[in-house]
Amino acid sequence: MLYVNILTWPVAVVGWVTSMIQQAEASQVRINEFLNQVPEIQNYNTAPTLLKGKVNFKDVTFTYDDTNITALKTLLFLQKLEKLLPF
């Protein structure tokens, strides 16, 4: 009986790997369809944009409605902006 398992196991693994490759190929086709879409909104501005000011988050909390999992709890940070960004 052990001899039969030794002979059939490699064949089963080849079938499993072939199945996984086919699933990956189908998934890659769907991913490529998404990645090849041209955005409806285009930014034709080539000049850099100077950002000034600050972003301040104070006591920000976020909880998912469907699971009641709290992802952020009393988040606090201040980010000062003064950078040239190529938007």
pLDDT digit string, tens, across residues 26-80: 999 999 999 999 999 988 887 877 778 888 989 999 999 999 999 999 999 888 8
How many domains does the structure of the chain reveal? 1
Half-sphere exposure of 42 (CA within 13 A, CB side): 4
Q: Is the pTM of this model over 0.85?
A: no
- Residue 64 burial (C-beta neighbours within 10 Å; 0-12, 13-18, 19+): exposed
Please state, in angstroms and rounded to a whole number, the distance separating the CA atoms of residues 35 and 27.
12
Q: Where are the alpha helices (DSSP H) in the chain?
A: 2-35
Q: Does the pLDDT of residue 24 top 80, yes or no?
A: yes
Query: Could you list the residue range(s) of the whole structural domain that residue 52 is in?
Result: 2-85
Q: Which residues pair with 53 in a beta bridge?
A: 81
Q: What is the pLDDT of residue 15?
A: 94
Q: What is the pLDDT of residue 44?
A: 85
Please state, in angstroms and rounded to a whole number, the distance separating the CA atoms of residues 32 and 11.
32
